[in-house]
Amino acid sequence: MHDHDPSTLAADLDFVKALAAEASAVALGRFRGVTPQEKTNKSFVTDLDHDLEQFIRERLGQRFPKDRLTGEEYAEAGGGGPRRWSIDPIDGTGNMVHGLPLWAVSIGLLDQGEPVLGVIVIPPLGEMFWAVKGGGAWRDGERLLVRDADTFHVQDNVCVGTNALRAVDPRSLPGRLRDLGSACCEMTFVVAGRLQACTFLGEAAHDVAAGAVIAAEAGCHFGTIDGHVLSPTELVANTPVARPTFVAPPRRLAALMAGARLYSGD
């Protein structure tokens, strides 16, 4: 892939951070009064998801008319250029609907398929994470780098999404198992050291587009249960995630990939 000078994306990053902050404020003002509906896949969607995605698309479209616009709730729109925005207006809608304060707004930018910019804001926590390729990963004003180890301590938090929990034998995983119900929260929490790894299965491009660049810039790698190490580009390209896939610092990732097993039998 082509090299990126992070400074070329500085103005874009400032714009998206301001947009994410605005979206966060809208979400915090409305989330207690949302009207949930079931989608065809039985997941929840709310009026807030729809309104926020339209708001974010409108702003991005005005600022970047050549770029393609994609997201969770609406069809592709925008221009025909090499850059594509991937939007998840509320990641963790089920948590939000039930009052569980772990949900996020995610805006990622892909350039010729490569994740190059990501901003994730977690409104209930008042936190914003961001990265551009080559520029490091940040939470608010603090640069974040993951700490690695050859093994997992019994008290290390290893996150496993619902789909992955039903596919991976949990006895083959180390540490204390968690499922937070929001891929964006999970990836940023690995970056922040709150989790030591997370595990995906079934996540869509908009779930991981922003998180992939944030996690990679913090030192995380990506790998599948059957031994394939993935670049951030490959992680996003191979969505929905078809095989249980781990996000962790490289040595911890190797330990997970060596030990984890799928359920056998049923």
Give binding residues for Mg(2+) as ranges.
72, 88, 90-91, 207
Q: Determine the 3-state secondary structure of 222 from DSSP.
A: strand
The H helix count followed by the E strand count for the chain is 8, 16
**What span, in angstroms and rounded, lies between the C-alpha atoms of 62 and 55?**
11
Q: Is the dihedral of CA 150, 151, 153, 159 positive or negative?
A: positive
Binding-site sequence positions: 72, 88, 90-91, 207
Ramachandran area for residue 242 (φ above 0: left; ψ -120 to 50: alpha; else beta): alpha
Phi-psi label, residue 159: left if phi above 0, alpha if psi -120 to 50, beta otherwise: beta
Tokens of 212: 């992939």
Contact assessment for residue 81 and residue 106, using Cβ atoms and an 8 Å cutoff: no
At residue 141, the 3 state secondary structure works out as coil
Roughly what angle, to the nearest 10 degrees, separates helices 183-191 and 205-217? Answer: 0
Which residue matches tokens 């290390």?
Answer: 156
| Nearest-angstrom CA–CA distance, 257 and 252 | 9
